[in-house]
Amino acid sequence: MLKARLEQDAVFGRCLATASSVRRGDLVLEELPFARGPKRDSGIVCLGCYQFLQFGEDGDSLDRCELCDWPLCGSCAGGDDATDHSDECEIFSAARVTFAGNVSDDGVCTQLDCITPLRVLLAKEANPARWDNEVAPMEHHEEERKQDADLWHADRVNIAQYLRGPCKLASRFSEELIMQVVGVLEVNAFEARTSRGYPLRCLYPYTGILAHNCVPNTSRSIYPSEGYKIRLRAMVDLEEGQPLHHSYTYTLDGSAQRQSHLRQGKYFDCQCDRCLDPTELGTHFSSLKCGQCTEGYQVPWQPTESDTSWNCSSCGACTSNPEVQAMLQSLQSEVNVVQALEMGPKRLEEAERLLRKYKSLLHPLHYIATGLRQLLIEMYGRVQGYEMVQLPDHQLERKAQLCREVLRVLNSFEPGLSRTRAMNLYEMHVPLVLLAKSGFIANKLKGGELRAPLVDAIDLLKECVEILEFEDQSSQEGVLCGVAKQALKQLSLSVEGLGSELD
C-alpha cells in the first residue's frame, strides 16, 4: 500500500496511517475499484458508459443490449465499455428478466438500483480472497440502516428479493449478504466521473476506510483511463504513523450541516478539532452578528449538540438553536432562489445584493457569505455585461478580493494541495494581470512597478499547477491544469521580456 498502513483505532476502527514520513504531494495509496456501477437513485443510464439514455413512456428505446435487452447505448454495444455489463448480461439473459424502463416522477429508475450491488456480488465470486480480506470487514451499519424502515424495505424488495427471485440468484447469494453489500456501498462508495463527465460509483476497499476529518490531510484523484484507479496524495507534510483522513462532507458547509450529513449518511457524530471549536478554527465560519451589541458574534456553545445555545462572545446574549436554524434556513432559501436563476447579470447582481444584505447578520466569513462569494467568483468575467475584458478596475479588484476571502477560509479547512484552492488561485490570477496591464496603460504603473503584480500572478499559477498536475487530463481539473500551464508560460515570457526592457 505504498506509504500507508492498516491500523485498528479505538474510535475509528479499521483505518489507515502513514507508514513513513511523507511530503505534500507524495503518493500514499493507490488501488483499483473492487466494483463499479451506476449511482443509487439514478435515471436510466447506459450500463457500459453511464451516459443518460432517453426511454419512451412505454419503456421503448433502441439503446438496449442485444442479448439481455437492458439499457446499453449503441456505442457500447459490442465495444470495450460493455465489459462492465457482460457478467450481469448473462444472468439477465438466463433468467429472462426484462428491463421495463419505468421512471418515477423525480426521474429515478429503481430497477437499476440492483446493478452495482450485483456487480459487487459477482466480484466476490471472482475475487474471494480480496472480498474476505478487504471488503467483508468494511462497515455497513446494518442496525442503523434498519431504523429507516421505508428505505430498508425498499432495498430489500428492489434489490435483495429482485436478485434472488426474478434474477434466480437465491442459490448463490443470501438476502443477508445482499443487504450487507447494499450497506457497504451506501457507507463507503465514492462517486467518480467517466472521461465524458458521466457519474458512477466505485467501491475502494482501502480508500473507503479512511477516517473522516473536517480538515482533511489527503486528496484523492480517480483516473477513468486507468480502470478508475484511485490515487491518494498527502495534502500537507505528514509524519510517520500520522492518521490519514479525508472529509466525508462538503468542506464549505457549516458545522450543523456537516453534522447532519454525517449522522444521516455515515451514522456518527464528528468530534474533530474543527467541529468541537465554536469558532471553527478561528474562522467564525458559522458565527452570527450579535443583535444585542455592535462588537460581538454569537457562536454555538456546544457545536456538536443539536440543542446548543448560541452565546455572544462580547455581551453574553443568548439565542436558542431553533431560532438560529430558522433564521439560517430563511437566508439559505433566498440564496437557493438566486442559485436557481439562469446564468446572467441578474444572477450576479442578486448575489451581490444578498451579500450586502447579510453583512448585518453574519460574520464576514460565514459559510452562507462564503458560498455567495464562490458563486460571484464563477460569474465575474463569464456573464453578459460582466465579461472579463470589459470589467472596469473596481470590478477586477472586486473579483480579486472575493478570491482572497474564500482562500482565507480554504487555507484553514483545506490547507495544501486542495483542488478548490487551485480553482480559486487560477481565478485570482486573471484580475491581477488585467489590473497590472490597465495600470501600465494608464501610466499609473511604471516598468518596475508592473513586474511585482505579474510575479504575484505567476506564483498563483505555479501553485495551481502544482496542485492539479496529478489530475486525470480528461477531468475538469486536468483541463484547467493545461490552461494554467499555458498561461504560466506566456506570463513568464512577458515578465522576462519586461526585465530585458528594464535592463
The domain defined by 4-33+204-246 carries CATH number 3.90.1150.10: no
pLDDT at position 446:
74
For the chain, the 3-state helix, strand and coil shares in percent, each to the nearest 5, are 50, 15, 40
Q: Are 320 and 309 in contact (CB under 8 A)?
A: yes
Looking at 228-320, list the stretches that DSSP marks H as alpha helix, in order from N- to C-terminal side.
255-265, 273-276
pLDDT at position 56:
77
Nearest alpha carbon to residue 283 among 254, 307, 311, 303:
254
3-state secondary structure of 173: coil
C-alpha 177/C-alpha 180 separation (Å) is 5
pTM above 0.75, yes or no: yes
Which one-letter DSSP state was computed for residue 214? Answer: S
Task: Summarize pLDDT for 399-449 with one digit per residue, the tens.
Answer: 999 999 999 999 999 999 999 999 999 999 999 999 999 998 888 877 678
pLDDT at position 503:
41
So where are the chain's domains? 4-33+204-246, 36-191, 405-503
C-alpha 387/C-alpha 495 separation (Å) is 25
pLDDT at position 500:
54
Q: Which residue has the higher pLDDT, 171 or 55?
A: 171
Compute the average pLDDT of residues 461-471. 96
The H helix count followed by the E strand count for the chain is: 16, 14
- What confidence tier does 502 reach under pLDDT thresholds 50, 70, 90? very low
pLDDT reading at 250 higher than 70: yes
Compute the average pLDDT of residues 54-67. 82
pLDDT reading at 59 higher than 70: no
pLDDT at position 499:
61
Q: What is the mean pLDDT of the chain?
A: 93
Task: Summarize pLDDT for 149-188 with one digit per residue, the tens.
Answer: 999 999 999 999 999 999 999 999 999 999 999 999 999 9
Lowest pLDDT segment from 50-59, 149-158, 325-334: 50-59
- What confidence tier does 210 reach under pLDDT thresholds 50, 70, 90? very high
Task: Summarize pLDDT for 376-387 with one digit per residue, the tens.
Answer: 999 999 999 999
C-alpha cell at 69: 435487452
Residue with cell string 475584458: 389
Which one-letter DSSP state was computed for residue 244? Answer: P
pLDDT reading at 40 higher than 90: yes
pLDDT at position 82:
62
Pairing of strands 245-246, 211-212: parallel
pLDDT at position 81:
55
pLDDT above 90 as % of the chain: 83
Compute the average pLDDT of residues 260-264. 91
What backbone torsions phi and psi does residue 201 show, to the nearest 5 degrees? Answer: -125, 145
Q: 405-503 architecture in CATH? A: Up-down Bundle (1.20)
pLDDT at position 55:
85
Lowest pLDDT segment from 139-143, 237-241, 265-269: 265-269
Q: Are 432 and 487 in contact (CB under 8 A)?
A: no
Compute the average pLDDT of residues 32-38. 97
For residue 45, the cross-strand partners are 52
Compute the average pLDDT of residues 316-328. 96
Burial of 87 (0-12, 13-18, 19+ CB in 10 A): middle
Nearest alpha carbon to residue 223 among 16, 474, 431, 399:
474
